[in-house]
Structure 1
Amino acid sequence: MSELLANYWGGRWQTGSGAGTSLFDPVLGTELVRIDATGLDLAEGFDFAREQGGTALRKLTYRERGALLGAIVKVLQANREAYYAISMANSGTVNNDTAVDVDGGIFTLGTYAKLGETLGERRYLLDGELARLGKDPLFQSQHILVPTRGVALFINAFNFPSWGLWEKAGPALISGVPVIIKPASATAWLTQRMVKDVIEAGILPPGALSILCGSSQGLMDQLQPFDVVSFTGSAATAAVIRSHPAVTQSSVRVNIEADSINSAVLLDDSSAENAALDLLIKEVTREMTVKSGQKCTAIRRIFVPDALYERTAATLSARLAKITVGNPRNETVRMGSVVSKEQWQAVQAGLAQLKTQAELLFDGSKQPLVDADPSSCCIAPSLLGARAADAAPLIHDTEVFGPVATLLAYRDTAHVQALVRRGQGSLVTSLYGTDPEALAAMAAELADSHGRVHIITPEVAAIQTGHGNVMPQSLHGGPGRAGGGEELGGIRALNFYHRRSAVQASTNVLKHL
């Protein structure tokens, strides 16, 4: 029987009392490890984190907490090779895809370590300038941000077991808020191993970082008014979280990242359509295949002027045909598998649904798998097309979480703006063209329904960071269907873990803040 992973709970390593849930290699089908949290005292773990972890973290300054993050970065870098091996085995990813998750998580954590240094020897932040409350300037108001006296519960998705942890934990820990992480079961091994390495290094105060691998049942019941919860996953689960009494009655602060039907738009710019179209083709190919399309920021809808529909379909299909799919251990393979048979079935079902309203322009399933059995969780890219975009509502409403995207034609600027908005709020849209004025106008027009607008022109083709690559300096989140949440964005990420208060006093008192 495989190893049963331990949970770091209540300041000590504990294993569940149940048989456990097995995690599998999605390519080979072999059992890897087991996870279980049956019988753990949930209240004990939350209390320990609040009372021990929170108290210890709040005694430190931002600079001191940033130094702790810097020390964690060194530990993670030292164990990077082991993380790559776990990711390949448990997530079925090729090394380039693992880098997005593992190295991306470490880079993000390092960014917040450096931010702590800039914030200096403070334990709270000033928010804005002094505001006079009357004619006499002696009595004024100063807003401050102080760390919330609770815990941060992270309920994470399966696709980024490393980055999903550290992009949340970095801002929380530097804010002085202890973290409880509940990783998605299917890929929990990597998250658990990273936490284990950090705990064993003795960097953080006891209770500052806890992990529970297994069922999430009962976790929300432990939340108290000053706790926060951040969730990444389906809109259905997000609705359950939002309706929990901890949220509706105790006003627990919630951040949600849910479904997102992101788009890529080629502007109708005949002056340099070749250059802009080439950039679109390259980016869409990358977004469809990196992590086998299992990214919340991946491109799902591709909008091009009607006159370029056939040309785009042919060029993109030819590029996708060059993608080798199969066992990530084979150096010739460019795209591995989805993380589980459950996800494989979900992609197949979603693809079948979309095909009722779109034609199949490229069928990757006709390509042979490399060193992988057809019974594995490998799925090749599929490009769909719907020239009559208005008559295909499923394309705008259904996110297939895999290597699937749909090409759509539009008539004019007003038409494509309306089509993009049918996504009902997304994490990101990317724009391709050569006219700076037109691109800026389109960005401003679509900003209200997107957390991020990514513009790719020939001048930045070699240095742009990628449609789906979430950078810690920029906002990650989106309105409407995307969940209405906000993460990262540099120092903005700290707002979620702080409470704002107005201090009204004489100027002589306020100057000591």
Structure 2
Amino acid sequence: MSDFTMTIAGEGVSAPSTFDVVNPATGTVYAQAPDCSKEQLDAAMESAAEAFTQWRKDEQARRKALLAAADALFASAAEIAPVLTAEQGKPLQDATMELMGAGVWLKYFAELELPREIVQDDDNAFVEVVRKPMGVVAAIAPWNYPVLLATWKLGPALLAGNTVVLKPSPYTPLATLKLGELLRNVLPPGVFNVISGGDALGAQMTSHPVPRKISFTGSVETGKKVAASAAPDLKRVTLELGGNDPAIVLDDADPAQIADKVFGAAFMNNGQVCSAIKRVYVPESLYDDMVEALAAKARSVKVGNGMEEGVEYGPIQNKPQLERVSALVADALSNGAKAAAGGKPIDGPGYFYQPTILADVSDGVRIVDEEQFGPALPVVKYTKLEDAIARANGTHFGLGGSVWGGDLDRAAEVASQLECGSAWVNTHLALAPHLPFGGFKWSGIGVENGPWGVYGFTETQVVYRSKI
């Protein structure tokens, strides 16, 4: 397939060259995507800058357009979902849910009421704090949820009055290109531009003179490069980066009751979620039962091509990531860990890996200390709760974390000690458009979602009217 075009100034645009997009379920090329030239990048930025002058003026028109964009996504989810499955690997039903979720996010921001901020109204003055759009936003989305996480940026940026140039990951550009195509007749020309290309294009975007804001979701390593690139021009940045989320199981938890939930939160999207559970700390008294309950679940799930009926988990999205997960598991096994389930790639074509539960592993081993971003979960034994909390916090990451126990008040008190942006009790990955999402430490700068996400795409202005 090669019928994918970029969206620049409301028009479908081809590129001088293309690059391959691989289907991770087969390991073979599925389609070609346009490789945006520097001149086309300039054109996208210029069109966004031109559109900004009018787009910023009419909030009600922006809300109406966002609602229409949400409706278009709802209507086209089933059509775009097979493209998303083919490039990303997730099961078709999950791809459809991602696209529907993207519509939910746009609808939320279309309807989000932002209160007036009057800070003084007396005999001396009327003073209001207002939020002004920044201008052009350069948005860069990742490969795990390419469309959904694009709308996390698109919704609040457009509501605030900005215009957007979006670049998806080169691993998963196709469904996002389809999103651009879908919205050409919904949003005014230049308001939403979609371009595709490799890492060099992303670097050109972040250093480009036009954008005033960069919104990036991806790895810590790349996020640091984005921040460095933005610094000379003092561009504003929101960086949603990696995570190594801990789950702490308390001694009054029931492994039989929580194992399925913990497993689901660790292996959602085949473990390719920045805020998924990446390591589990379990008290010695419950350790064997918890390991076996997780391992039994891992052995029971169906892994395969996402287009096939009944498949629960697809492949790892790309070959480098498969190699990374394989290396981390092999390193753990060589350091004394036991594979209670899984532990190796699945034979055959594609980038498949067995759902893996690792026991007899501890901090200091790479798969505990680093972010695996794949279907392998280390389970770590502890004896003292204070030690488990310290080990959970003893990392550069701080995206999310959860505590699991029978006494909700006690579990909540433990959760309050976690150094992370989202602290959950008896659940994990409880994400919604009205909840702010961001991380501590290396897990990012700024937040997305809710009114806080909108404010991240604005500058604050004081309007002071003297009465004397």
Q: Answer whether contact 2:163 2:191 (CA < 8 A) is retained.
A: yes
Counterpart of 2:78 in structure 1 is 81
Confirm or deny: 8 A CA contact 2:328 2:366 kept in the other structure. no
Distance, in Å, in 2 between the alignment partners of 1:315 and 1:351 is 20
Contact 1:17 1:39 in 2 (8 A): no
From the superposition, tell whether residues 223 and 393 of structure 1 become closer, same or farther in structure 2 (CA, over 3 Å): farther
Give yes or no for the alignment of 1:483 onto 2:453.
no
Q: Pairwise mapping of residues 183-262 of structure 1 onto structure 2 (< 5 A)? A: 183-199=168-184, 202-215=185-198, 216=201, 217-224=203-210, 227-244=212-229, 247-262=230-245
* Per-residue deviation, 1:356: 4.2
Q: Pick one of 138, 162, 170 that aligns with 1:153.
A: 138
User: Is the partner of 2:216 in helix, strand or coil?
Assistant: strand
For structure 1, list consecutive stretches of 5 or more residues without a partner in the other structure: 120-124, 457-465, 509-513
The amino acid that maps onto 2:428 is H
1:306 to 257, 261, 284: 284
SS at match of 2:374: coil
Preserved contact between residue 232 and residue 257 of structure 1 (Cα < 8 Å): yes
1:413-446 CA-to-partner distances (Å, cap 9, x unmatched) read: 3111101101333221111112132122112222
Larger displacement relative to structure 2 (69-78 or 43-52): 43-52
- CA deviation after TM superposition for structure 1 residue 88, in Å: 2.0
Corresponding residue SS for 1:162: helix
> Does the 8 A contact of 2:48 with 2:191 survive in 1?
yes
Structure 2 letter corresponding to 1:377: Y
What residue is the counterpart of 2:381 in the other structure?
409
Alignment of 1:88-237 (within 5 A): 88-115=85-112, 118-119=113-114, 126-127=116-117, 129-130=119-120, 137-139=123-125, 141-148=127-134, 150-199=135-184, 202-215=185-198, 216=201, 217-224=203-210, 227-237=212-222
**Could you tell me how far apart the structure 2 residues matched to 1:350 and 1:96 are?**
29
* Structure 1 residue 128 displacement after superposition: 5.3
Deviation at residue 114 of structure 1 after TM alignment: 1.9
Check 1:385–1:423 CA distance in 2 against 1; reply closer, same or farther (3 A cut). Answer: farther
Q: Distance in 2 between matches of 1:502 and 1:279?
A: 53
The residue type paired with residue 271 of structure 2 is: G
Q: Does 1:55 align with 2:83?
A: no
- Specify the code of the residue in structure 2 equivalent to 1:58: R
1:97 CA drift (Å): 2.6
- Cα distance, 1:377–1:469 mapped onto 2, change above 3 Å: farther
Gaps of 5+ in 2: none
The answer as to 2:353 corresponding to 1:379 is yes
Give the C-alpha shift of residue 4 in structure 1: 5.2
Cα pair 2:446 2:456 within 8 Å, conserved: no
What's the TM-score, normalizing by structure 2? 0.93
RMSD: 2.2
Matched, 1:453 2:423: yes
TM-score (norm 1): 0.85
Return the match for 1:496 from 453, 456, 461: 456
Change (3 A) 1:407 1:214: same
Contact 1:16 1:39 in 2 (8 A): no
Distance, in Å, in 1 between the alignment partners of 2:335 and 2:238 is 34
Please say if residues 90 and 313 of structure 2, whose CA atoms lie closer than 8 Å, have aligned partners that are also in contact: yes
| 1:400 positional shift | 0.9
Indicate the SS of the match to 1:334: coil
The question of whether the paired residues in 1 share the 8 Å contact of 2:421 and 2:439 is answered with: yes
- Return the offset for 1:140: 5.8
In 1, distance between residues paired with 2:31 and 2:39? Answer: 19
The residue type equivalent to 2:374 in the other structure is G
Count, aligned residues: 464
Deviations 1:199-243 (A, max 9, x none): 1xx22111100011113242222134x610011111111111111
> How far did residue 12 of structure 1 move?
2.8
Alpha-carbon distance between aligned partners in 1 of 2:10 and 2:312, rounded to the nearest angstrom: 41
Query: What is the CA distance between 1:284 and its match in structure 2?
Result: 2.3
**Deviation string for 1:154-182 (max 9, x for gaps)?**
11111111101111101111111101100
Kindly indicate whether the alpha-carbon contact (under 8 Å) linking 1:42 and 1:222 is maintained by their aligned counterparts in 2.
no
SS at match of 1:45: helix
Q: 2: CA distance between counterparts of 1:86 and 1:405? A: 29
Shift of 1:399: 0.8
2:23 aligns with 25
Instruction: Give matches, 1:307-326, under 5 Å.
Output: 307-326=285-304
CA contact 1:127–1:145 (8 Å) conserved in 2: no
CA separation of 1:426/1:46 partners in 2, compared to 1, >3 Å: closer, same or farther?
same
Deviation at 1:39, TM superposition (A): 5.2
Distance in 1 between the 2:157 and 2:104 partners?
16
Instruction: Give the aligned partner of residue 343 of structure 1.
Output: 321
